[in-house]
A and B are shown apart, each in its own frame.
Chain A
Amino acid sequence: MEQSLKETIRQDPKKILGVNPLDAKVSLSYLTVAFVSLLIGGILGLVQGLERAGLIDLPSWLNYYQVLTAHGLLLLLVFTATFSIGYLYANLSHALGGLLPKVRKFAWVGFVLMIIGVAMAVTMIVLNEASVLYTFYPPLAAHPIFYIGLVFVVLGIWACCAGVFINYRHWRKNHPGQVTPLLAYFTMAVFVLWFFATIGVTIEVFTLIPWSMGLVETTNVMVGRTLFWWFGHTLVNIWYLVAISAWYVFVPKIIGGRHFSDKLIRLVVILVVVLNIPGGFHHQIIDPAISQSIKFLHVFMSLSIAVPSLMTAFAMFAVFERTGRKLGGKGLLGWLKKLPWGDVRFLAPMIAMISFIFGGAGGIVNTSNQLNQVIHNTMWVVGHFHITVGVSVVLTFFGICYWLIPYLAKRKLTPKMNKLGIIQTVIWTVGMIIMSGSMHIVGLLGDPRRTSDTTYGGHEAAAGWIPFEMLFAVGATLLLIGVIIQVYAVFNMMFFAPKGLTEYPVAEPEDDATPAPMWTERWGLWIVLLLAVVAMAYVVPIVDMILNAPPGSPPIRTW
């Protein structure tokens, strides 16, 4: 680790010393909110797991669905969004030589808007006025303030999008004929997706506000669900794109290698951006009101997202093998032993990548029409997104923390902190294997998700689920221990670790690599293709849902 730091300082000191302190403050503020959310959301996760296992009874002022909504919103939206923004803005600053002053302002405006929005939404959940689950689609109706809070969150994200687009445009103008640095390219892609993902949910929320206020009597549930999943599934791939930016750009450097191919990486990014949004339909694959032929189309549109994932699997294995062999690894798999398993900056994202093999395979099951009928709305789905988001994405985020936070805070990762990170990673992995594994199995046995009590009057089939539900609680307990260690590590590295310089571990291409072609920079074209794919997927079913609308639903409160 030290050798490569010295080398990098010698070769290009800017790579070590580059980030503007004002930019670092932006990123650190977002990361602070992220890890406070993780702590609260993690505690709520354990509460939920214990209640579901029947080990505790919640007090009368708190209900299961309230806890479930807060857990989902804080972790799936607030934690992931604020972490991603903090991390990507740091990458943008590093790659483009600092943020423009007005871009920094956009980032701060976004920060304030998001804090206001989250405060409004969470207050309504705490007051038990918005136990509508993380998916918040109709007919469940929250208090209007909950939806208005979400509007603020979206406005905050748009402010961050605007900042990135301005900075990108400025760099492009000043660097004609050059391809954007890879980190900035990933950042641009993520924010393009953020922008188009949030259009769907914004339209949905604007129809729900007058409905929840009583100004409109009914709403079209099918359109609401469809617009939600337009956003909801794209969000999944936003996390994925953020995670693979670290796999492709930082992990190779950390293990002492080079990245695989600039061209392949950019092609993966383009495919994820273009193909992504219609994937939302596989969440509705057994919904009524969508014709069979449209569903058939959507199975293939959803499965197309597997293509860039499989390209990533190949590229990452190739990076590991090349590096391991250069380090002396022999035989078919001897190179695996040469990888730095004792370095948390590698171990955490590596486990994240391994888990994605199983998470991705589970995703293909979910997307297949008949197979979805086996697992639809069962605990399998909960297990699936805990292994994909909770390990593939979150462990990557945790791994990033061990170099990004010391770098931003001008501190060092100590061997002791590295060891703690390894322990945290092991606890997290074991906890998630127990919890997510048991969720997958019990889901196949029929245990439903989003249900507080599943004893069904002591029915024999339901009784068979109980041992697995106990395992949820065991796994959730380990995960909360993991959350506490991670939050401690983050704030220790932010404020108390020894002062010093940390490397921003950006991998270089191979010596004989061909440079990335300029056509990859044609964002206008990628956006047109994205819109064409969205039109192909959405126009027919949405028009059908509106023209042949069933009676609308009034607002419903089930709690």
Chain B
Amino acid sequence: MKTTEAIKSEKQLNNDDEKSLRGTLVSVGFVAAVIVVMWVAVFWIYMERV
């Protein structure tokens, strides 16, 4: 049987998990990666051609 303390800490954990924005951080990191990769790729083509 779980103690009141354990239930409290589990609830806290669930609550923290619900509020977590770790996935958002990863997702915006993906957006940044797309921007950087595309920019660098086209800049590389430019440098190859000048």
Contact = CB atoms under 8 A, between A and B. Distances in A.
Contact of B42 (A310, A313, A357, A375): A375
A365 B45 CA distance: 12
Nearest to A368: B39
A371 B24 CA distance: 30
A450 interface: no
A335 interface: yes
Interface residues of A, number: 29
Contacts of B28: 310, 313-314, 317
Contact of A325 (B18, B39, B45, B49): B18
Given A326-B18, A358-B34, A317 B23 contact: yes
A362 B38 contact: yes
Nearest to B47: A370
Given A325-B17, A373-B46, A374-B46, A317 B35 contact: no
B26 interface: yes
Interface in A400-455: 444
A129 interface: no
B2 interface: no
Contacts of B30: 357
A370 B43 contact: yes
Task: Decide if the interface of chain B is mainly helix, strand, loop or mixed.
Answer: helix
Interface in B18-45: 18-24, 26-28, 30-31, 34-35, 38-39, 42-43, 45
Given A317-B23, A321-B20, A444-B45, A310 B38 contact: no
Contact of A310 (B26, B31, B39): B31
A332 B39 contact: no
A43 to B, nearest CB: 32
A336 B30 CA distance: 15
Given A374-B49, A444-B45, A361 B39 contact: yes
B11 to A, nearest CB: 15
A317 B24 contact: yes
A330 to B, nearest CB: 7
A374 B42 contact: yes
A109 interface: no
A322 interface: yes
B34 A357 contact: yes
A371 B42 CA distance: 6
Interface of A: 310, 313-314, 317-318, 321-322, 324-326, 330, 332-333, 335-336, 357-358, 360-362, 364-365, 368, 370-371, 373-375, 444
Q: Which 3 A-B pairs have the closest CB atoms?
A: A317-B24, A317-B27, A361-B38
19 contacts: A313-B31, A317-B24, A321-B20, A321-B21, A321-B23, A322-B19, A325-B17, A325-B18, A325-B19, A357-B31, A358-B38, A361-B39, A364-B38, A365-B38, A365-B39, A368-B39, A370-B43, A374-B45, A444-B42
Given A313-B31, A317-B28, A361-B39, 19 more contacts: A310-B31, A313-B27, A314-B24, A322-B21, A324-B23, A325-B17, A325-B20, A326-B18, A332-B22, A357-B30, A358-B34, A368-B39, A368-B43, A371-B39, A371-B42, A371-B43, A373-B46, A374-B45, A374-B49
